Structure 1
Amino acid sequence: MTSYARPSSEPVQDAAFHHPAFFYTTEEDYLGGVGDFVRAHADRGHPVLVAVPEERLSLLQGVFGAACEGVTWVDMRQAGRNPGRILSMLQEFADRHADRRPAIVGEPIWPDRTPAEACEATRHEALINLAFAGRHATILCPYDTALPERIRAQAHRTHPVLGGPGEERPSEHYADPLAVCRDCDEPLPEPAEPLVLHFGEEDLGGVRDAATDWAVAAGLSPRRRTDWLLAVSEATCNSVRHGGGSGTLRLWPAAGALVAETRDRGRPADPLVGRRRPDPLSAAGGRGVWMMHQLCDLVELRVLPSGLVVRLHMTLDPPPHDGAG
Structure 2
Amino acid sequence: MRTGPAAGTEGYHHEAAFHGSDEELLAVTLPFVREGLEVGDLTMVALADRESEVVRRALPRADAVHWISASRRYETPASAIRRYREQFVEAVEAGRTQVRVVGNVPHPGYGAPWSGWARYEAAVNHAFATLPVWSLCCYDTRITPRAVVADVVRTHPHLVTPDGGREINAAFVAPEELLVEGLAAPLPAEPGPPALVLDDPSPAAARHALLATVARLDHDEREDLVLALSEIVDNAWVHGVPPVRVAMWTGDRTVVTVTDTGVGPSDPFAGLLPAEGSATAGLGLWMAHQLGQEVSLHRGPEGFTVRMTAGPS
Say yes or no: TM over 0.5: yes
**Shorter-normalised TM range:** 0.7 to 0.9
Task: Give the match for residue 182 of structure 1.
Answer: 180
Q: How does 1:230-269 map to 2 (within 5 A)?
A: 230-255=227-252, 257-264=253-260, 265-269=262-266
- CA shift in 2, pair 1:170/1:187, >3 Å: same
Distance 2:49 2:247 in 1: 34
Q: How does 1:153-168 map to 2 (within 5 A)?
A: 153-164=150-161, 165-168=163-166
Task: Give the match for residue 214 of structure 2.
Answer: 215
The answer as to 2:113 corresponding to 1:121 is no
- CA shift in 2, pair 1:228/1:178, >3 Å: same
Task: Give the match for residue 312 of structure 1.
Answer: 308
Deviation string 1:122-144 (CA, Å, 9 cap, x unpaired) is 11111111112232211111111
Q: How does 1:41-190 map to 2 (within 5 A)?
A: 41-64=36-59, 68-69=63-64, 71-98=65-92, 99-100=95-96, 101-113=98-110, 117-146=113-142, 147-164=144-161, 165-185=163-183, 186-190=185-189
Distance 1:277 1:104 in 2: 23
Contact kept? 2:176, 2:269, Cα under 8 Å: no
Q: TM-score, normalising length from structure 2?
A: 0.85
Contact kept? 2:271, 2:285, Cα under 8 Å: yes
Contact kept? 1:52, 1:75, Cα under 8 Å: yes
Distance 1:305 1:182 in 2: 15
Task: Give the match for residue 4 of structure 1.
Answer: none
Distance 1:238 1:113 in 2: 32
Contact kept? 2:107, 2:117, Cα under 8 Å: no
Task: Give the match for residue 200 of structure 2.
Answer: 199
Distance 2:21 2:228 in 1: 40
Distance 1:231 1:210 in 2: 14
- Taking only aligned residues, the RMSD between alpha carbons, in angstroms, comes to 2.6
- CA shift in 2, pair 1:67/1:306, >3 Å: same
Q: Offset at 1:152?
A: 1.2
Q: Offset at 1:89?
A: 2.4
Structure 2 residues not aligned, in runs of 5+:
none
Q: TM-score, normalising length from structure 1?
A: 0.82
Distance 2:277 2:180 in 1: 27
Distance 1:162 1:23 in 2: 9
Partner letter of residue 173 of structure 1?
A
Partner letter of residue 193 of structure 1?
P
Task: Give the match for residue 26 of structure 1.
Answer: 21
Contact kept? 1:11, 1:40, Cα under 8 Å: no
SS in 2 for 1:209: helix
Q: Offset at 1:110?
A: 4.5
Structure 1 residues not aligned, in runs of 5+:
1-8, 320-325
Distance 1:193 1:110 in 2: 28
Aligned-residue identity in percent: 27
Deviation string 1:66-97 (CA, Å, 9 cap, x unpaired) is 9622x322222343143343222222221111
- CA shift in 2, pair 1:190/1:119, >3 Å: same
Distance 1:313 1:41 in 2: 39
- CA shift in 2, pair 1:133/1:272, >3 Å: same
Distance 2:292 2:193 in 1: 22
Contact kept? 2:74, 2:106, Cα under 8 Å: no
